[in-house]
């Protein structure tokens, strides 16, 4: 049993490595390559070509946990670039751009749901799936494209933080509505507990700099790495248990380190672990994708891709203007928010577990196809943003 599992992990890592090498060779982002590798050797169709079986890796608990760590450490590193004071200073602008993003993109989701004759509950799932950008995909693209230190990262980050906090509330409310067993009081208690946890975390990040400086002052890189991995994973796991986004929690852990002298050492010692976990996360998206289900939701998919890509570019461009950026940088903000990912899949899983018919079949199929295309499209758009903004500027 252990031998089979080890063999499967080895195949998965080799597939990821080959896909990444191929992407680098042709000059493309590694994210689509990792996702496509997961599709090709995962448990869903195509499972064979010319009679040769291609299913080499199943989506198991090991892949699931490592993929979660991918989200956690991508957001941890993003948090390193910011402080709680900086976020509090930007709270008014974050509220403005988050509201614009929500009105435009959640509104488009509601329009799509009603246009395709879904019920109110089904429409709420559609709206949530198309509304929220992928923190993991966007963060990885920011790092790969060297945007983290650019002015565009401010409104992009503000929008992601707003979305991740809002989705924690939305998941609690939608769960109560979809399953029908939860009351408004229970949903409110769940949201309150999640925000109490978040508040405590923010206080530690704000006041605990001196303690964090001493606690992580290890002479050995090995011990330093283990402390960072241990504490970040522990806090993210506790947040997830409390009903809060593990990504938001990891982001605040990163902010706690941003004011210490450990940031440069974290970049040097911990970033290889981050890249490993992130690669498995994108590979896992491919493993869960069944492309044969896409035919049944083709028209909904096409409508959503067109409408919500335009919606994110428009709302992101407006957000850039709120931050005082010029037209080119504002457009790059919009392009940077196009990818969708992990939370859309969480909503799809919630829909599948909360009902039958459309909720169990149509919405998960739509979500998987939507995330696949939007994650690839978003990374390609970010990679070619200079070409896009130059051409638009010349019109």
Stretch among 83-92, 99-108, 297-306, 347-356 having the lowest mean pLDDT: 347-356
* SS3 category, 148: coil
pTM of the model: 0.77
- Residue-wise over 260-280: b if at least 16 C-beta within 10 A, else e? bebeebbeeebeeebbbbbbb
pLDDT beyond 70 at 395? no
Mean pLDDT of 267-277: 92
Mean pLDDT of 141-158: 86
pLDDT for 92? 92
The per-residue pLDDT for range 290-300, each reduced to its tens digit, is: 777 778 889 99
How sure is the predictor about 50, in pLDDT bands with cuts at 50, 70 and 90? low
Give the C-alpha distances (Å, rounded to integers) separating 3 from 16, 295, 302: 20, 38, 43
112 vs 184, more confident:
112
Q: How many CA atoms lie within 13 A of 201 on its CB side?
A: 29
Give the C-alpha distances (Å, rounded to integers) separating 364 from 323, 353, 381: 36, 10, 25
pLDDT beyond 80 at 13? yes
Phi, psi for residue 134 in degrees, rounded to 5: -85, 115
Cα 86 from Cα 142, distance rounded (Å) = 19
pLDDT beyond 60 at 394? no
How sure is the predictor about 48, in pLDDT bands with cuts at 50, 70 and 90? low
pLDDT for 52? 66
- Give the mean pLDDT of the chain: 84
Stretch among 94-108, 202-216, 317-331 having the lowest mean pLDDT: 202-216
* SS3 category, 220: coil
pLDDT for 178? 66
Domain definitions of the chain by residue range: 61-292
pLDDT for 49? 61
Mean pLDDT of 80-87: 76
pLDDT for 318? 95
Spell out the CATH class of 61-292: mainly alpha
The per-residue pLDDT for range 150-172, each reduced to its tens digit, is: 888 889 988 988 887 788 778 77
Mean pLDDT of 205-217: 85
The per-residue pLDDT for range 212-268, each reduced to its tens digit, is: 888 888 889 999 999 999 999 999 898 888 767 777 788 888 888 988 889 899 989
Cα 274 from Cα 142, distance rounded (Å) = 14
């Amino acid at each position: 049993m252990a031998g089979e599992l080890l063999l499967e992990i080895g195949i998965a890592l080799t597939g990821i490595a080959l896909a990444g090498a191929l992407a680098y060779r042709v000059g493309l982002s590694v994210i689509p390559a990792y996702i496509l590798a997961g599709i090709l050797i995962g448990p869903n169709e195509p499972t064979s070509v010319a009679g040769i079986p291609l299913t080499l890796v199943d989506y198991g608990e090991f892949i699931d946990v490592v993929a979660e760590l991918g989200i956690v450490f991508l957001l941890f590193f993003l948090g390193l670039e910011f402080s709680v004071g900086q976020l509090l200073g930007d709270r008014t602008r974050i509220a403005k751009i988050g509201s614009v993003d929500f009105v435009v993109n959640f509104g488009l989701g509601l329009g799509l749901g009603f246009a395709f004759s879904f019920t109110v509950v089904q429409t709420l799932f559609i709206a949530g799936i198309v509304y929220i950008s992928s923190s993991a995909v966007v963060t990885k693209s920011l790092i790969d494209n060297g945007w983290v230190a650019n002015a565009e990262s401010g409104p992009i980050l503000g929008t992601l933080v707003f979305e991740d906090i809002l989705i924690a509330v939305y998941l609690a409310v939608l769960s109560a509505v979809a399953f029908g067993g939860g009351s408004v009081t229970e949903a409110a208690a769940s949201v309150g507990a999640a925000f109490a946890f978040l508040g405590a975390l923010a206080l530690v990040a704000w006041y605990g700099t001196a303690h964090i400086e001493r606690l992580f002052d290890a002479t050995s890189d090995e011990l330093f790495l283990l402390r960072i991995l241990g504490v970040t994973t522990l806090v993210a796991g506790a947040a997830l248990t409390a009903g809060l986004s593990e990504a938001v929690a990891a982001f605040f852990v990163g902010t706690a380190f941003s004011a210490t002298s450990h940031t440069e050492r974290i970049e040097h010692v911990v970033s290889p672990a981050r890249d490993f976990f992130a690669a498995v996360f994108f590979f896992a998206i491919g493993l869960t994708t069944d492309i044969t289900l896409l035919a049944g939701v083709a028209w909904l998919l096409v409508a959503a891709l067109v409408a919500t890509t335009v919606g994110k570019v428009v709302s992101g461009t407006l957000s850039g203007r709120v931050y005082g950026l010029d037209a080119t940088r504002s457009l790059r903000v919009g392009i940077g928010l196009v990818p969708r990912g992990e939370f859309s899949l969480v909503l799809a899983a919630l829909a599948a577990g909360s009902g039958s018919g459309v909720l169990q079949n149509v919405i998960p199929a739509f979500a998987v196809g939507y995330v696949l295309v939007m994650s690839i499209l978003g990374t390609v758009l970010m990679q070619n943003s200079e070409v896009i903004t130059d051409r638009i500027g010349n019109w």
